[in-house]
Homo-oligomer: A and B are copies of this chain.
Amino acid sequence: MSPAAVRQVACIGAGVIGGGWIAHFLARGYQVAAWDPAPDAEQKLRRLVDAAWPALRELGLADNASVDNLTVRPTLEAAVADAEFVQESAPEDLELKQDLLARIDAATPPGVVISSSTSGFGMTEMQARCATPHRLVVGHPFNPPYLIPLVEVVGGKQTDHSVVRWTSEFFEAAGKSVITMDREVPGFIANRLQEAIWREALHMVANGEATPAQIDASITEGPGLRWPLLGPCLTFHLAGGEGGMAHMLDHFGPSLKSPWTRLQAPELTDDLRDRMVQGCADAAEGRSVAELVAERDRAVIAVMRAIENVRQGKV
């Protein structure tokens, strides 16, 4: 089946990530069959989809998009029976994923690609118990999957190259921005970069050098304003002036050795934990997580629109 011809998607796991995928697929006009073992999963899922729908309508729905295209099935097997693509979004537990993917593999029609949302495991270790491991691939989204375009696609040792290619084309057809990786790297790409920032932030808090609010302000009022348009490489390319990255590296290369970042994960002491928790409460200024999520969604849309207008030369 050609990637663009897919109409029936199965989503296994319907928490924040699985539910986000489901909202995305519904908005792009797919039929979605979902399964999640939690007793209140359907209720939570429908609430998540309803909450996301205004943002998705704002972004533009596919012609045939409807929340009515979602069916929640009583078993995993029923959910994948008619699938033309399967997205697994179970909790990050290797044993659980290995068993679940083997079950999905056994129940899914031959030739249908099975993708995992894992952020932490390589497909090589996850596909170990599958009968037909060649069709299993990682399709790692970003939260919320219905808004953030990025998906990182990478296979395991037993994954067919053609499956990796097909999956990338499918996600592109489904409206995502795809990075196809040609080898497994723990954390893939974006999370490694995020983790590097996150660990440095934890060190600064642990050492009393900055509060979470200062750290966040240093990003939102500073380099964070550039990152929706220019990633870290092109940012430093511009920092090199007319000479670009070459001047940057030749001129500032030695400052790589500057003691400007710490290099091991800090001990997560109770004190560090409490300072992070309290600091985030301060930074949230009374806004609940739900309020922050709604604000983030509006902001991501507004920022994507702004960047798109700039790229098209409209502003």
Count contacts on A: residues with CB < 8 A to the other chain: 112
Asked if A216 and B200 make an inter-chain contact with CB atoms under 8 angstroms apart, the answer reads no
The CA of A305 and the CA of B218, in the complex, are separated in Å by 18
Q: Which of A68-76, A77-85, A143-151 contacts B (4 or more CB under 8 A)?
A: A143-151
Is A280 engaged at the interface, CB distance under 8 Å to the other chain? yes
Residues of B within 8 Å of A37, CB to CB, are none
CA–CA, A270 and B282, complex, Å: 46
A130 close to B (CB within 8 Å) = no
Chain B, Cβ-Cβ closest to A265: B256
Q: Which residues of A come within 8 Å of B, CB atoms?
A: 16, 92, 120, 142-143, 147-150, 152, 177, 179, 181, 183, 185-202, 204, 209-210, 212-242, 244-246, 249-250, 253, 255-261, 263-266, 268, 273, 276-277, 279-281, 283-284, 289-290, 292-293, 295-296, 298-307, 309-311, 315
Q: List 29 A-B contacts (CB under 8 A).
A: A148-B222, A149-B221, A149-B222, A150-B217, A177-B221, A187-B258, A189-B204, A190-B222, A193-B197, A193-B218, A194-B232, A199-B256, A215-B233, A217-B231, A220-B229, A224-B227, A225-B303, A226-B296, A228-B303, A230-B292, A234-B280, A234-B283, A238-B289, A244-B284, A245-B276, A246-B273, A249-B273, A299-B307, A302-B310
